[in-house]
Amino acid sequence: MSRLTDKQDAYGHAMHDYLHGKGGYEIVEREDGLAASSAGPPAYFAAHRNWDPMERKAIRFARDRVLDIGCGAGRVALYLQEKGHEVLGIDVSPLAVRVCRERGVKRAKVMSITQVSRRLGVFDTIVMFGNNFGLFGTFNRARWLLRRFRGMTTDHGRIIAQSNDPYQTDQPHHLAYQRQNKRRGRMGGQLRIRTRYLTYATPWFDYLLVARDEMRAILDGTGWHVAQFVDSGGSVYVAVIEKDVQE
């Protein structure tokens, strides 16, 4: 998904309204008609002390210079700045980037994940919190971007990425959608979604939820591997991903 127009910037408007005391919520709509509210702005603005313990544990693996992909309202960037890290946050939402700057994020840029390249510099850590491993979208695009990430990170570079195992469900509508995906040659957790707020709606985009073994399969051959998983006790988890040792 490329830079959003104002009318498309649903979650940016939700965050901007929330910041300025005008409410704010987020509805996620799936291509099969399923619609549900997300955790929304309260989660995007959460202070570190209110993060899930899994996230508080995982963020300790951040090293030195950090790229925060899908930075939202800047919660990760602000926390890491306070810890002395140099952080660049990127997001496709112009209003999200504005919110980040208003809240004190020093460096934030409107950019999609597919535009990320070595031109941004070289990083020690790439953070993809908020289930943002999903921004890879598809199996093939994930592998392409992971190879690109390898070229823009230091020798000890790592990725800290959150995902959600889509198969840990007994909900008929989710199971039916996974079966439909398989028939179409898609991964079970490859969602086609958009987000909505008031009269704003993003374009439809692919968002990829993966089980742990699927994540390992995506990483295989890209120069990365899972060093460890940080679990939540449920379907959500964070992977600490490190570079393969070159012989």
- Residue 138 CA to residue 148 CA, distance in Å, equals 15
Q: Is residue 104 domain-resident?
A: yes
Q: Is residue 228 domain-resident?
A: yes
Diameter of the chain by CA atoms? 56
pLDDT tens figures, 114-151: 999 999 999 999 999 999 999 999 999 999 999 999 99
111 token code pair = 């950019």
Q: Is residue 3 domain-resident?
A: no
- Residue 189 CA to residue 217 CA, distance in Å, equals 14
- Tell the residue number behind the tokens 């070159």, with chain if given: 246
Q: What confidence score (pLDDT) does residue 245 get?
A: 79
Contacts of residue 13, defined as CB under 8 A and 6 or more positions apart, other chains included, come to 24, 95, 197, 198, 200
The count of other CB atoms within 10 Å of the CB of residue 5 is 11
Domain count for the chain, please give it. 1
Q: What is the pLDDT along the chain (247 residues), one digit of tens a residue?
A: 778 999 999 999 999 999 999 999 999 999 999 999 998 899 999 999 999 999 999 999 999 999 999 999 999 999 999 999 999 999 999 999 999 999 999 999 999 999 999 999 999 999 999 999 999 999 999 999 999 999 999 999 999 999 999 999 999 999 999 999 999 999 999 999 999 999 999 999 999 999 999 999 999 999 999 999 999 999 999 999 999 976 4
- Residue 10 CA to residue 27 CA, distance in Å, equals 9
Q: The domain containing residue 88 runs over which residues? A: 10-243
Q: Is residue 115 domain-resident?
A: yes
Q: Is residue 5 domain-resident?
A: no
Residue 177: alpha-carbon gap to chain centroid: 22
Element (H, E) at 173: helix 172-183
Q: Is residue 43 domain-resident?
A: yes
Q: Is residue 95 domain-resident?
A: yes
Ramachandran category for residue 90: left, alpha or beta (phi over 0 → left; psi -120 to 50 → alpha):
beta
Q: What confidence score (pLDDT) does residue 3 get?
A: 82
Q: ∠ at Cα 26 (21, 31), nearest 5°?
A: 165
The count of other CB atoms within 10 Å of the CB of residue 174 is 18
**Could you tell me the CATH number of the domain that includes residue 144?**
3.40.50.150
User: Which long-range contacts link 42-48 to residues 24+ away (Cβ below 8 Å)?
Assistant: 42/18, 43/130, 44/15, 44/18, 44/72, 44/73, 44/75, 44/130, 45/15, 45/18, 45/19, 45/73, 45/75, 46/75, 47/75, 48/75, 48/79
Strand residue runs (E) in the chain: 27-30, 35-37, 66-69, 87-91, 108-110, 123-128, 153-164, 190-197, 200-201, 205-208, 224-231, 236-243
Q: Is residue 2 domain-resident?
A: no
Q: What confidence score (pLDDT) does residue 2 get?
A: 72
The count of other CB atoms within 10 Å of the CB of residue 162 is 22
Q: Are 201 and 188 in contact (CB under 8 A)?
A: no
